[in-house]
Amino acid sequence: MRVFDPSTRVKANGKTRLLICDGHESHISAKFVAYCIKHNICLHLLLPHSSHLLQPLDVGVFGPLKEATSKYLNRLIQVGIARLEKIKWVENYNKARGVALTENNIRGGWRGSGLVPLNRVRVTHSLSDPTTPILQDNPITPNFEYLFFSPQIQPLMPIFFIY
């Protein structure tokens, strides 16, 4: 809140602001929620352990991009360059992009997440509590209400919608 609130308060001009949080229990407290309510901040919590669904390119693309960039920059560091000019960084980043931002890596990120092609078992596996049975892949696509309000499926955590 030390950054979000002061950075957005003036721009919002009294209107409600939306803050999207990753939903991990270590980030959310009663004091935090009360602060959001008091300061007209709508808090939306994402499901824990859902980043593979929300950011499927993190592993398949951005991980290899970071690795390739480090590899190219390490060559410069090893020859004793203590200070890197921006142009040198950009040149090496561009080389790394050619290695990491490939169609195969992009498709792999989506495939690995289970989103494209859709693999419901892979998607629900990492979201489920070990004591909760995993939905089996079937031709019927469950709707939002079924997934979140079905008596057979217990929510993984409360979802707050504060207005």
Cis amide bond preceding 151, omega within 30: no
User: Which residue ranges make up each domain of the chain?
Assistant: 4-51, 57-110, 120-149
pTM attached to this predicted model:
0.53
Angle at 70 between CA 69 and CA 71, to 5 degrees: 90
Q: Which amino acid is at 63?
A: G
DSSP 21-73: E---GGG--HHHHHHHHHTTEEEEEPPTT-HHHH-THIIIIIHHHHHHHHHHH
Summarised one tens digit per residue, pLDDT across range 97-132 is 999 999 999 999 888 888 888 888 877 776 655 554
Given a cut of 50, the residues of the chain with pLDDT beneath it are: 132, 134-135, 137-163
